[in-house]
Structure 1
Amino acid sequence: MPCCCVPHCVRRGGHLIPKDSSVREKWIIAIKRIDPVNKQKLWTPGPGAVVCRAHFTQQDYHISPATGNLMRLNKDAVPSVFDFKKARPCRRRLTKYYKEPSTPKSVTKDPPVTGTVFLHVHDIQREETVESVVPITVTPNNTEKSYESSNSAIPEQYIAHSNTQPTLNPLQMYHSNDEAMKYYTSFDNYSHFKFFFNTLGPSAYELNYSCWTLNPEEHLFLALMKLRQAKEDFELSIMFGISKQTAGRIFKTWLNFLYYQLKDLEVWPSCETVKQTMPLDFKKKFPTTRVILDATEIPIQKPTDLLAQSATFSSYKNRNTLKTIIGCSPSGLVSYVSDTYGGRATDRQIMERSELLSNPDMLHPGDSIMADRGIMVQDLFATKGVFVNTPHLMKSRSQLDPKEVIQDRRVASKRVHIERIIGLAKTFKILKKELDISRIPDTHKIIFVCFMICNFRNSIVDQYA
């Protein structure tokens, strides 16, 4: 991506200088750049010279429905936003003997097309500073001829791209579109998104990284787009007008920030809170239930290491996965997310290492757990006085007793809540798309953040369920 040709501007990318001779001449005069070889004339732009969008105003753009409502540059627009006094020299032009140039004088406005153009010249590439009045004679014939010869070398793809550069990032474009906000972030509207951002606290403005083109709200929007729609860093870089590496760093930083901020929240409810928020029918049939458990698996790319292949291969999914156990309260609050293990690990092995067993403050005697029949851990919790409510097994019988069938149906009708929670979390497509090997160290953080964000949405469990 080429650097902006405006003196002292260090931004990259932008609009190619137009081919039209009259507009092209206005651009060259407005830029105030002197030819590095011949100081007596203005600089002649090459075929790839660009002016970044920071030098244009909002009035220089219009919305074109033909290109998907993207902002397009007006054909007669001329760059007019310059800040030469506070500008920094371009890094690639720094030399060993460089000195800070003096403040350039203002350019005379509305120069004539023919005749003599006077402007104050400012040298930015040499050690010395030149401030003199230089006459430049412009004739229509010579100008048109020289512009035609220089424009003939401009590739067509660059000319088409110069007028399709967006001026607004996705958050600025969609903050008033509730449907788009829910599609990209899972939040109902911008106010809902803003509420979630405010819960992260003022530390969101103090993260130890820099991206001056976007503010913290836009950084969060980028991270949520990555989680929600599983977009690649390259696509995000195009949408937000940044580099691919910057998009990757923003997502990595905000993933860690969201993980540690949300982990500090006390999501495990007390016994009194569970009873107060428990749905009426649930309280009638299973009043002692503290948590509903189920396992979920996330697909990953096949590792190259044989031991890693063996540890992550799931016989249930018949592919390489990572497994974790999710728990929710009877009211639908995600209250527990276990550590992440390879797909080969059984549910019992994960439960043996879970905090539900090691932390005595989470479950008390008389409490009960509701789980699938695959989580057979009754013996592990029996010593704590905690009952595990699972469907009955056949145990070499031809059929279950009528009472057991009725009980299993009641358990299944309530245990479905955790399956609905997992389905809601997997609307974040990053949990359904095959994760790259490089993302495996961050898989637990991704899973945790996606499930915790579900707690900021309306509960999917009805109060009479």
Structure 2
Amino acid sequence: MRDRLEELRKRAQDYSEAASENSVSPSVEVDNDDSMAAITPQAVMFEEEPVIKSFLFEAQRIRDDITVLDIEVLTFGQQQQTLVATMRRFSVMKKESSITRDIKLKAESLRRRLDALSKQVQRTEDQLGPNAVTTRIQLSQHASLQSKFQQVMWQYNEGLPTKQERCKHFIIRQLELSGRDVTEDEANEMVTTGEWEVFNENLLNDARITRSQLSEIEQRHKVCSRHFATDQLIEPKTLDGRRRLVKGAVPTLFEWNHFTAQTPRASVWERRERPTEPVSREEQEEHIDVRDHDYCSAPEPASLDMSSQATEDNSKTVEDLQKQLQELRVQREFCLQRFAGSDDNIRFYTRFPSYNHLMAFWFLIEPSIYKMVRVTRAISAAKTNEEVVTHARPSTRQLLQPIDEFFLFLCFLSVGLKERDLANRFNVHQSTVSRIIATWTSFLTTLLGSQCIWLTPAEVQAHLAEAFKDFPDTQVILDCTELRCQTPSSLLLQSEMYSTYKSHCTMKALVGIAPHGAVTFVSSLYGGSVSDKEIFKQSGIAALLTENMAVMVDKGFLISDCCKCKVYCPPFLSKQKQMPAYQVRETQAIARLRVHVEHVIRRIKENKLFDGVILLSHAYNINQLFAVACMLSNYQNKALVKKWVK
């Protein structure tokens, strides 16, 4: 705000001079008696200044705090009228003292803030002068706040002596009832300082004396476990632990009662048997060892040596027991290490011929384990539409070691154990087993599928067996296999998956092997109603075959018009009454070699998961499971050599 007072005074002086020259003026009337000039109304311009704005803001805050203090003082005055009538405990007096202390603290804070405003007014007056608008506004605000604050404190000071007198008389009366005389000066000091220890001084002294006596007793006396009954002792959980007492335990066994607990007194209604022969007191004392502990005696050096030797022996015994416990734990747990010494068990649970053979395959895939993405992590990434670019965190807590998870997957695939059975064997939850199977199925499909199993003609010729000398250009031997599955509820799916050959709903796949027995091609699974020729077309193997290659198939594969390579297939009888001798020999030669693909398929289907009816709950990853089983057969054994087939 800009001060226009000087400007108005100057204009008034100009008008008065003009009035003295002219007797009549349209805007100024001259009074000859007092020579005062009336000034016409003028517009006053106001501008905002930060100094006055901050001052008024602080003044408003102080005014609000004074209003709150006024309310508390009024409440305090109303409480003093009923103080003696409602006061039954000294806690009420303490509460009243806290109210008084709060009022004092708030009053001190307001007084300091008013002093700060006074200093600010003084600085403004020194800078702008006493007639400045800012100075006058600040002076009026400070005077108003100071007056209101003084009025509130005067009201508080009027009620304070009344409260002190009532409290003092109440304290004196209570102390007289307790048998202690207190002078009026002591009561005044007590009310002023708020120290009430005079009422419980005796109790504090007694507690202090009792505490010191108890400390002396604890320092001079100790009681060992011999003086407590066995039901009052808590045995340690470890060998180096100490026995503890139950809560509320009391020593009851001493020398004077012969370290025996007194039996509870029988009821008068209970029948008691009398001793046949009375035993004298002397005979009882002869059989009782009444020697008590000597807490002040020190152990002899020989006893220390014996105790240290006993401690060493005990530590060795503990180590041996721990080793035995570890061996028993390994024998009890269902893990790969348990069957490491039995190749028969390894062959049964994993289809690998021996433990060394299994570990050789594990060493091949172990470097890629850290790249494995758990199925739960993949699902969460799919929900958030983000790409899984980082590998699984190594700090993630796993219930089973990776090699035991691989062993669990092989048990599921090779033995066909149910998920609940695997959960009980490996001591994990069934959902954990399901996640492990899904994770390892995807991992092995990706890892083994990244290896190209289709061989070039040169590689096939390099490993061509002697039995194929009549068919040297054979690239692959093909055959289809069917897996029985659960009948779906949909009639349309039933018609697509029903196989007239198996008279059951099945899933069919095309498997191809090289002449030396390695699996080189695996197709996806199709419905059982799809023909072998249609699977050959849709599987994509026709694109891999060239004109210089030959494929060997069964008589049911009519694929001569579907591929550009040569097809070795047993001849048909057609309209002939009898097959010629050369065709018979050709059929026998082809059948003798083509049977190897059936041997490989039999090895694949020795995995008990495909032996029974496949549940539709596994249909989401049955393609991957079948592909993994086919590719694992290349690592498990040789297809052309009959060894441990059962």
| TM-score of the two chains, using structure 2 as the length reference | 0.47
Match of 1:224 in 2: 410
Match of 1:104 in 2: none
**Distance change >3 Å, CA 397–CA 171, structure 1 → 2:** same
**Distance change >3 Å, CA 341–CA 207, structure 1 → 2:** same
Pair 1:245-2:431 in alignment: yes
Give the CA deviation at 1:188: 2.0
Q: 2:511 aligns with which of 326, 334, 337?
A: 326
Give the CA deviation at 1:457: 2.5
Pair 1:288-2:467 in alignment: no
Q: 2:362 aligns with which of 180, 192, 197?
A: 197
Q: 1:274 aligns with which of 451, 460, 463?
A: 460
Q: 1:424 aligns with which of 580, 597, 603?
A: 603
Q: Which amino acid aligns with 1:414?
A: L
In terms of Rg, which structure is larger?
2
Match of 2:241 in 1: 109
Q: Which structure is higher in RCO with an 8 Å CA cutoff and minimum separation 6?
A: 1
Pair 1:352-2:534 in alignment: no
Q: Is the 8 A contact 1:332 1:421 kept in 2?
A: yes
Higher percent of residues as helix:
2
Distance 1:24 1:187 in 2: 57
Pair 1:302-2:484 in alignment: no
Q: Which amino acid aligns with 1:332?
A: G
Question: Structure 1 runs of 4+ off > 4 angstroms?
Answer: 22-26, 134-142, 163-167
Q: 1:261 aligns with which of 439, 447, 450?
A: 447
Distance 2:230 2:572 in 1: 81
Q: Which amino acid aligns with 1:280?
A: E
Match of 1:212 in 2: 398
Superimposed CA distance per residue, residues 3-55 of structure 1 (whole angstroms, 9 cap, x where no aligned partner)? xxxxxxxxxxxxxxxxxxx99999x755xxxxxxxxxxxxxxxxxxxxxxxxx
Give the SS at the match of 2:619. Answer: helix
Q: 1:364 aligns with which of 546, 561, 566?
A: 546
Distance 1:366 1:199 in 2: 35
Distance 1:450 1:321 in 2: 18
Superimposed CA distance per residue, residues 87-141 of structure 1 (whole angstroms, 9 cap, x where no aligned partner)? xxxxxxxxxxxxxxxxxxxx97252xxxxx259xxxxxxxxxxxxxx66569999
**Distance change >3 Å, CA 285–CA 242, structure 1 → 2:** same
CA RMSD after TM alignment: 3.0
Distance 2:446 2:609 in 1: 19
Q: Is the 8 A contact 1:279 1:462 kept in 2?
A: no
**Distance change >3 Å, CA 208–CA 136, structure 1 → 2:** farther
Q: Which amino acid aligns with 2:549?
A: D
Match of 1:156 in 2: none
Q: Is the 8 A contact 2:330 2:337 kept in 1?
A: no
Superimposed CA distance per residue, residues 330-351 of structure 1 (whole angstroms, 9 cap, x where no aligned partner)? 0000000011100000001101
Give the CA deviation at 1:453: 0.7
Give the CA deviation at 1:190: 2.1
**Distance change >3 Å, CA 23–CA 230, structure 1 → 2:** farther
Q: 258-267 vs 222-231, which deviates more?
A: 258-267
Distance 2:250 2:524 in 1: 74
**Distance change >3 Å, CA 432–CA 24, structure 1 → 2:** farther
Give the CA deviation at 1:462: 5.4
Distance 1:245 1:224 in 2: 17
**Distance change >3 Å, CA 165–CA 266, structure 1 → 2:** closer
Pair 1:377-2:559 in alignment: yes
Give the CA deviation at 1:371: 0.4
Residues paired across the two proteins, number: 321
Higher percent of residues as strand:
1
Q: Is the 8 A contact 1:205 1:216 kept in 2?
A: no
Match of 1:450 in 2: 629
Give the SS at the match of 2:620. Answer: helix
Give the SS at the match of 1:380. Answer: coil
Distance 1:348 1:118 in 2: 83
Q: 2:570 aligns with which of 387, 391, 394?
A: 391
Distance 2:513 2:481 in 1: 13
**Distance change >3 Å, CA 24–CA 266, structure 1 → 2:** farther
Gaps of 5+ in 2: 1-228, 254-259, 262-327, 375-395
**Distance change >3 Å, CA 270–CA 201, structure 1 → 2:** farther
Quick one: percent identity of the two aligned structures?
28
Distance 1:179 1:394 in 2: 47
Q: Which amino acid aligns with 2:485?
A: I
| TM-score of the two chains, using structure 1 as the length reference | 0.64
Q: Is the 8 A contact 2:512 2:520 kept in 1?
A: yes
Give the SS at the match of 2:636. Answer: coil
Give the SS at the match of 2:639. Answer: coil
